[in-house]
Amino acid sequence: MSRRTLAIVISTVLAVVAGAAPAAAHSSQRWPSSLALPDGFQPEGIAIGDKPYAYFGSRVDGDIYRVSLRTGKGAVFSEGPGAGNPSLGLKIDNHRLFVAGGSAGTARVVDLRSGRILKSYTLKGPGTTTWFINDVVLTRDAAWFTDSANPVLWKVPLSLKSQPVAVPLTGDIQYTTGNNANGISRTPDGRGLIIVQSNLGKLFRVGYDGRSREIKLNDAETVVNGDGLWLRGRTLYVVQNRLNVIAEVALDREARTGEVVSRTGSATFDVPTTIAEYGRKFYLPNARFTTPAEPTTTYNAVAVPIP
């Protein structure tokens, strides 16, 4: 092959590659920015794994609804236990979905391949009369659930071979009237947990022994109405549901201090609650808490660029 011919071939290949990249990027941008959910569904939690599917939990009966992020099409994937058994916070571990059971005081583990319930747990401490198992995060060996009504975290081993352990919350956090510990995440160094106290707008670093220490924010900032949490590196994203914004909090490695550096809203937000990431976008279900919940009430989830 002559040098001239070789140059033409190389130029042609480079032109094809250069032209293909924008097309691929444009293709991903055509994914729907709004995902329709069933009328009357009342979504709260969302989880996305390594495949382009989002899972949503219903506050009505605990149904789990799966939606393709690529097409927006969805269907009930796993039927819930029924009325009074909501599905709130969700997290994926390989082929399993961990589900917080809200006011039912329960947790479930669902097989992502079949929709079958692998295990159910009762997370009710002795002497308590109300419960609200709100959200969940996964660590190396356990799923950790918050209870917004009682100062306790519940540790469920990922092996599913042992019973849940109640870990009392001690230290700085003090429960008051309203929605207390809600969203939960790991710390950037992986040595502890972060929880948001929704009613007071405070963040806490919590050891695996339950001892809490308030994360001091800049300029007396708060994240009131904080709900779902999402950690990227040392940046914690806090969904402030009724404020219709995502707060971006820069943390130190041990999550002892933080700085609220921005708040991002969207005209598509209608009381978003929880948050998950896929393809450089955040996905959030609109819970619509300020809209009367009727069987005909419409619901959706929305995609927004990561701030």
The confidence score (pLDDT) of residue 295 equals 97
Pairing of strands 235-240, 245-251: antiparallel
The per-residue pLDDT for range 50-85, each reduced to its tens digit, is: 999 999 999 999 999 999 999 999 999 999 999 999
The confidence score (pLDDT) of residue 300 equals 98
Angle at 249 between CA 29 and CA 205, to 5 degrees: 125
**What pTM did the predictor assign?**
0.90
Which range (11-15, 148-152, 257-261, 302-306) has the least confidence? Answer: 11-15
Q: Which CATH code is given to the segment(s) 31-305?
A: 2.120.10.30
| Confidence class for position 16, pLDDT limits 50, 70, 90 | very low
Taking the C-alpha atoms of residue 40 and residue 35, their distance in angstroms, rounded to an integer, is: 15
**Whether residue 26 has pLDDT greater than 60:** no
Taking the C-alpha atoms of residue 267 and residue 299, their distance in angstroms, rounded to an integer, is: 15
The confidence score (pLDDT) of residue 11 equals 41
User: With 0-12 CB in 10 A as exposed, 13-18 as middle and 19+ as buried, what is 177?
Assistant: exposed
| Confidence class for position 29, pLDDT limits 50, 70, 90 | low
- Residue 218 DSSP code: G
The number of residues making up the chain comes to 307
The confidence score (pLDDT) of residue 19 equals 37
Pairing of strands 181-186, 170-171: unpaired
The confidence score (pLDDT) of residue 22 equals 35
Whether residue 150 contacts residue 195, with contact meaning beta carbons closer than 8 Å, is answered with no
Whether residue 307 contacts residue 264, with contact meaning beta carbons closer than 8 Å, is answered with yes
**Whether residue 4 has pLDDT greater than 90:** no
Taking the C-alpha atoms of residue 17 and residue 14, their distance in angstroms, rounded to an integer, is: 5
**Whether residue 6 has pLDDT greater than 50:** no
Please report where in the chains the tokens 């001892």 appear, as a residue. Answer: 211
Q: Would you state the structure tokens that stand for residue 28, as one six-digit string?
A: 């991903």
Write down the mean pLDDT value for the chain: 92
In sequence order, the 6+-apart residues with CB closer than 8 A to the CB of 50 are: none
Mean pLDDT of 103-122: 97
In sequence order, the 6+-apart residues with CB closer than 8 A to the CB of 288 are: 270, 271, 297, 299
| Confidence class for position 5, pLDDT limits 50, 70, 90 | very low
Higher pLDDT, 182 or 11: 182
- Residue 272 DSSP code: B
Burial letters 87-126, b for 16+ CB under 10 A, else e: bbbbbbeeebbbbbbbbbbbbbbbebeeeebeeebebbee
The per-residue pLDDT for range 209-240, each reduced to its tens digit, is: 999 999 999 999 999 999 999 999 999 999 99
Other beta carbons within 10 Å of 195: 28
| Confidence class for position 27, pLDDT limits 50, 70, 90 | very low
Higher pLDDT, 25 or 80: 80
> Which candidate, 49, 44, 84, places its Cα nearest to that of 64?
44
The confidence score (pLDDT) of residue 14 equals 36
Mean pLDDT of 255-261: 97
